[in-house]
Amino acid sequence: MPKFLLSILFLCLTSLVWGQESQQEKLEQRKAQILQEIRENESQLRSVKKKEKSAVTVVMLQANKIKLQEKLIKTTEKQAKILGNDMYINQVKINKLKKELEVLKEDYARMIVKSYKSRSEESRAMFLLSSENFLQAYKRAQYMKQYSSFRKMQGEEIKSKSLELQDYNGRLAIQKKEKQKIIAEREKERLALEKQKKEQLRLVNAIKKDKNKIMAAIRKKQSETKAIDRQIDRLIREAIAEANRKAAKDGTATGGSSSRIALTAEAKILADNFRANKGKLPWPVEKGFVSLGYGKQPHPVYPTLVINNSGVEITTDTGAYARSVFAGEVTNIMVLSPVNKAVMIQHGDCFTVYQNLSSVSVSKGDKVGIKQNLGKIRTNSEGKTVLKFTISQNATYNNPASWLYNM
């Protein structure tokens, strides 16, 4: 292969390695986050089991732990794949260096033999004296000087290539150990997952005896949740109508409807900034894990029963506080039930709602900043502290996982 093609290949491979190193760092961060969520889930699970609370709660926490464990396995598999790619690239570099070193050594050996044959001072003198004129003698003297320099340069290049080869061999050895470690971790995670699934099956079979009672409780909770969703939906539409009335009166915006805000210049800037941070917004709690995801999903005990969630439920520590995910204005403080308060924040044409608060630390009309404390999250009779969080663009609910960082 021509030298220039080898150089291009080398540059491409080097760029790819840098990109993969960056991916490895991101995966390591994601892995650390998942492990933290698993630890928090386990803590909640131990707490609930210790207090001998609802068996359904235990099953749901166990189901969430299984999901987190599956995420961890997928992340580890991605790490192994990237590391395998890195190892392949380094092996290509090693093979290339070996070939280059082999060629250099062969050239150098031929040069040494040639130099040995004409090593005597007499031979060198005769080479100069046999010149036909002064110019030829000068050129021959320069050639001998350059030949000596070239021989020295090739010796240095062999030394440099040998050190580079040694370095890549060292890297490859480290990567092989790292891959073995990742494979061992993956196997450990797989065994843990199998154990958790068996435990989950045991728990599910144990509580199926109380099927009618549990199904009634689940349906009651779903009915309450739907009623709260309708209430929030009505309040969002009222906020949209109020914003449109104000904009029309001031003559600052047009084009609004019952389900769409007519944005003023200021509101448009806020809305654009909010959307620009999609996928990068902080979580609405300092720490915790998603115990119930967004959208339609089968119940962990009774798969035929479909749960529909308009947001995400995040389980956190007792005494934790909800925090704003972005700057905005508090448009409503809702009392959804005697023990469930909620805060609604407007971000241009988007709304975030923070439910299940026992106390609220902001008022309607307040301007809030990112990560600002909004209120204390309620801990229920089962010892669970759960925040329900929703995001809607105008009156349409969005999946918070696509907005929040690493959810």
DSSP string, 312-364: EEEEE-TT-EEE-SS-EEEEEEEEEETTEEEEEEEETTEEEEEEEEEEE---T
Residue 96 lies in a domain: yes
Percent of the chain with pLDDT over 90: 25
Q: What is the pLDDT of residue 110?
A: 67
Count of structural domains, the chain: 1
Residue 262 lies in a domain: no
CA 62 to chain centre: 23
What's the pLDDT tens digit per position in 11-46? 454 544 445 557 777 777 777 777 677 677 666 656
**Token pair recorded at residue 314:** 């995040």
Half-sphere exposure of 391 (CA within 13 A, CB side): 23
What's the pLDDT tens digit per position in 153-187? 766 777 777 777 788 778 778 878 888 888 888 78
Residue 162 lies in a domain: yes
Q: Which helix (H) or strand (E) holds 158?
A: helix 134-207
CA 139 to chain centre: 65
Question: How many angstroms separate the CA atoms of 289 and 386, rounded?
Answer: 10
Question: How many angstroms separate the CA atoms of 125 and 129, rounded?
Answer: 6
Residue 90 lies in a domain: yes
The whole-number average pLDDT for the span 212-217 is: 71
What's the pLDDT tens digit per position in 294-307? 999 887 667 777 88
Residue 134 lies in a domain: yes
User: 226 Cβ partners below 8 Å, 6+ apart?
Assistant: none
Full-model pTM: 0.58
Residue 50 lies in a domain: yes
The parent domain of residue 50 ranges over 3-209
Please say if the pLDDT value at position 389 is more than 60: yes
Residue 364 lies in a domain: no
Helix, strand or coil for residue 295? strand
Please state which of the ranges 202-211, 225-234, 389-398 shows the lowest mean pLDDT: 202-211
Please say if the pLDDT value at position 347 is more than 90: yes
The pairs formed by 358-361 with CB atoms below 8 angstroms and a separation of 24 or more are 360/333, 361/321
**Amino acid letter for position 391:** I
Residue 291 lies in a domain: no
